[in-house]
Amino acid sequence: MQFSLGPVLYFWPKAQMLEFYRQVADSDIDIVYLGETVCSKRRELKFDDYMALAQMLREAGKQVCLSSMTLYEAPGELRELRKYVDNGEFLVEANDVGAISMLQQQSLPFVAGAAINCYNQHTLRQLVGMGLTRWVMPVELSGHWLSEVLQQSLIGDIRDCFSTEVFGFGHLPLAWSGRCFTARSENRSKDQCELCCINYPQGREVKSQDGTQVFVLNGIQTQSGQRYNLVNQLNTMQGLVDIVRLSPQLSGTFDWLAKFKANINGKAPQPLPATDSNGYWLNLAGMATG
Amino acid sequence: MELLCPAGSMPALKAAIEHGADAVYIGLKDDTNARHFAGLNFDQAKLKDAARFVHQHGKKLHVAINTFAHPNNYQRWQQAVDMAADAGADVLILADIAVLAYAAARYPKIERHLSVQASATNAPAIDFYRQFGISRVVLPRVLSMQQVRALARSCEIDLEVFAFGSLCIMAEGRCYLSSYMTGQSPNTAGACSPAAFVQWQDNKGTLESRLNGILIDRFAPNETAGYPTLCKGRFSVGNDTYHALEEPTSLNTLDLLPELYAEGIKSLKIEGRQRSPAYVAQITKVWRAAIDAVMSTPERFNVQPQWQQVLAGLSEGSQTTLGAYHRKWK
């Protein structure tokens, strides 16, 4: 089992990003995803900065993949996507079928991210035919669902063509909107957002009126209120999951990586904080803990 | 410009046709469509009745098979396509790549429209789905009018937009908020914020709505209580309690009609397969009149106050919005 570090989903200042990736280079993570996946207005790091980071991380022995955005609406955003597709060196993670379309046209392999709607063996087989080499299943699916897809005879002869990856740690990206909810929370319109999400390096908490944390606002993205944490499910993933993804958090990411690595075989289980959940993997509501 | 109306039952379908719909869209009585609600939708026999009625009136029947097929009973989605084809559906509204591929191979002559649940918001995404021979794209409700216009001018494919009804504020087909709270989502179960998880509780005069135990909203005695769709609740962010994601409001694009018409938008879709026949009748009547007016004299089109009055009365919380079509909403 390998471990990957997802793209930073929040908007962090450039210096903080560079410092974070210096730590990543020194860590024993296997795979690193880089790129802005949420909002095209976030420009602390530009495409060339991500490429420089990608090269630095590759030299540090990491497999690097460039992550593209989930919601493409404007021509300028598609020009940026074109740069990712044409980068010439690194694998690209598609989070919108528009990216798959561009990659497919150039016969390039791709990772289908969790926001690509691949729910069954027939769709998976189609995507493999188009160049998919790694499949990150939608976050709402369970371990049981994954095993049902992989057990189908339709997958038998192509199982060697792709690896499987599961989002295993961090606040889950659950929805994307035309509207920016962080700007709305400050009574600003999206056009006048002044990039206020940079003030919320772990998003803004949304609580129910009786105090339960329900969501986290991260610009146009809505995340789970609970932090998803599959540290105690790793031993049930054998033969099913090749890569487990940790989504960068403001603090503690590398400590949790160590805990995940120590518990691959279930020998070092971790008590889950009350703010963590694992429901989706266990075929429950996502916010539940089993 | 087509008027495409919703129907969750034969009476609603008849109301739509009799009040001027050019086409009606329906779903089957299972989780193969995104309005999988108890007591709603069409079984095989009713589907045939629906097709017969619509065709007798020279109109078109669209069948939505727009959830994502499950691995252990993929056949159900295939059978849904077979059943719709057998009944004589004019159009299949599809979202799953697998189902699109099956329909394209098995029934190449039946029109395939890309469901809003496929979440195609840009030109390369539309290009992607062309390999399955789609003839029309239903655009997600996250785009501004400017973005709709750009797509209409750059993509050589028919576009359909939502004109009126409940407003999804997230990119459709990529929203997992409902399964996060309940375990069931539009993609997997064909339902958002399912009724089985809703609880109402009177707490000393304050009415509380919950979804799977989570408090979605509290209503004072003088407030109208709305269904606890989870993205339309009042939550706390920082020190403020407000509709953190969206108010309970309906999309209404009457004001944009001349622009949509000028851009050659092929079809206006009315949301609401879960609504009553009376609702469908009233909505259809208003939109028929509006579309006829814009088509006959687009330069003199004026929104009639009585249209707005009827639509406001049929809206969530009696409020309407232009949603993402209007940049300021974002």
Query: What residues of chain B, 31 to 90, have a C-beta less than 8 Å from chain A?
Result: 68-72, 74
Chain centroid to CA A182: how far?
20
In order of start, what are the domains of chain B with their CATH numbers?
2-167+249-329 (3.20.20.380), 186-242 (no CATH)
A121, A178, A288 ranked by CB distance to B71: nearest: A121
Separation in Å, CA of A3 to nearest CA in chain B: 24
B121, B127, B238 ranked by CB distance to A72: nearest: B121
Check B71 against A175: CB less than 8 A apart. Answer: no
Chain centroid to CA A87: how far?
20
Check A222 against B245: CB less than 8 A apart. Answer: yes
Say which range, A86-100, A256-270, B28-42, has the weakest mean pLDDT.
B28-42
The answer to whether B65 and B57 have CB atoms below 8 angstroms apart is no
pLDDT > 80? residue B317: no
Residues of A in contact with B181 (CB under 8 A): 214, 285-287
d(CA A175, CA A222): 5
B74, B174, B183 ranked by CB distance to A122: nearest: B74
Q: Could you tell me if residue A186 is inside a domain?
A: no
Query: How big is the A-B interface in CB pairs under 8 Å?
Result: 220
The mean per-residue pLDDT over the stretch A179-196 comes to 94
Q: Is the dihedral of CA B318, B323, B327, B330 positive or negative?
A: positive
Check A119 against B96: CB less than 8 A apart. Answer: yes
Q: Could you tell me if residue A204 is inside a domain?
A: no
Percentage of residues in chain B with pLDDT exceeding 90? 89
Percentage of residues in chain B with pLDDT exceeding 70? 100
A118, A149, A209 ranked by CB distance to B218: nearest: A209
pTM above 0.90, yes or no: yes
pLDDT > 90? residue B319: no
Supply the ipTM of this predicted assembly: 0.97
pLDDT tens per residue, range B49-72 = 999 999 999 999 999 999 999 999
**Unique residue bearing structure tokens 């009696």:** B318
E strand segments, chain B: 2-6, 23-27, 60-65, 91-94, 111-114, 136-138, 158-166, 198-203, 206-211, 214-219, 235-237, 240-242, 250-252, 267-270, 320-321
Q: Could you tell me if residue A240 is inside a domain?
A: yes
Q: Which of B199, B210, B203 is nearest to B234 (CA)?
A: B210
A115, A119, A208 ranked by CB distance to B214: nearest: A208
B102, B127, B182 ranked by CB distance to A285: nearest: B182
Check A73 against B123: CB less than 8 A apart. Answer: no
Residues of B in contact with A178 (CB under 8 A): 141-144, 169, 171, 324, 329-330
Residues of B in contact with A152 (CB under 8 A): 71
Q: Could you tell me if residue A144 is inside a domain?
A: yes
In a mutational test of the B interface, the residue from A215, A220, A227, A276 whose CB has the highest number of chain B CBs within 10 Å is A215
CATH number at residue A63: 3.20.20.70
Residues 6+ positions from B126 with CB-CB distance below 8 Å: B114, B120, B137, B151, B155, B157
d(CA A93, CA A106): 15
CA angle A66, A69, A74 (to 5 degrees): 130
Check B176 against A175: CB less than 8 A apart. Answer: yes
Q: Could you tell me if residue A289 is inside a domain?
A: no
Q: Is B170 on the interface with A (CB under 8 A)?
A: yes
Give me the pLDDT at residue A238, please.
94
Residues of B in contact with A38 (CB under 8 A): none
d(CA A89, CA A81): 15
pLDDT tens per residue, range A79-134 = 999 999 999 999 999 999 999 999 999 999 999 999 999 999 999 999 999 999 99
Chain centroid to CA B202: how far?
32
Separation in Å, CA of A141 to nearest CA in chain B: 9
Q: Is B121 on the interface with A (CB under 8 A)?
A: yes
Integer CA distances (angstroms), B247 to A166, B231, B233, in order: 34, 8, 7
Domain that holds residue A238: 2-170+226-277
Residues of A in contact with B106 (CB under 8 A): none
Residues of B in contact with A215 (CB under 8 A): 177, 235, 244
Q: Could you tell me if residue A163 is inside a domain?
A: yes
Separation in Å, CA of A205 to nearest CA in chain B: 6
SS3 of A157-199: the string is CCHHHCEEEEEEEEEEEEEEECCCHHHHHCCCCHHHCCCHHHH
Check B101 against A122: CB less than 8 A apart. Answer: yes
pLDDT tens per residue, range B247-263 = 888 899 999 999 999 99
Tally the domains of chain A. 1
Give me the pLDDT at residue B315, please.
87
| C-beta neighbour count of B240 within 10 angstroms | 12
Residue A224 tokens read as 């789970």
Q: Could you tell me if residue A40 is inside a domain?
A: yes
DSSP letter (8 states) at residue A128:
H
Smallest CA–CA distance from A210 into chain B, residue:
B215
SS3 of B162-174: the string is EEEEECCCECCCC
pLDDT tens per residue, range B157-210 = 999 999 999 888 999 999 999 999 999 999 999 999 999 999 999 999 999 999
Residues of B in contact with A181 (CB under 8 A): 244-245
Give me the amino acid identity at B167: L
pLDDT > 90? residue B124: yes
Q: Which of A246, A247, A253 is nearest to A218 (CA)?
A: A247
E strand segments, B118-252: 136-138, 158-166, 198-203, 206-211, 214-219, 235-237, 240-242, 250-252
Separation in Å, CA of A150 to nearest CA in chain B: 9
pLDDT > 80? residue B274: yes
d(CA A242, CA A234): 11
pLDDT > 90? residue B326: no
Q: Which of A155, A150, A66 is nearest to A113 (CA)?
A: A66
Residues of A in contact with B124 (CB under 8 A): 72, 78, 81, 97-99, 101-102
Separation in Å, CA of B261 to nearest CA in chain A: 21
Q: Could you tell me if residue A135 is inside a domain?
A: yes
Q: Which residues of A179-193 are buried (b: 16+ CB within 10 A; e: fewer)?
A: bbbbbbbbeeebeeb
Give me the pLDDT at residue B328, please.
82
A98, A104, A176 ranked by CB distance to B122: nearest: A98
In a mutational test of the B interface, the residue from A38, A39, A140 whose CB has the highest number of chain B CBs within 10 Å is A140
Residue B88 tokens read as 């004589």
**Unique residue bearing structure tokens 């029109």:** B111
Check A178 against B169: CB less than 8 A apart. Answer: yes
Query: How buried is residue A195: exposed, middle or buried, by Cβ count under 10 Å (0-12/13-18/19+)?
Result: middle
pLDDT tens per residue, range A197-234 = 999 999 999 999 999 999 999 999 999 999 999 999 99
Residues of A in contact with B187 (CB under 8 A): 117, 119, 138, 140
pLDDT > 80? residue B316: no
Q: Is B123 on the interface with A (CB under 8 A)?
A: yes
d(CA A154, CA A151): 8
Structural element, H or E, at residue A134: strand A132-136
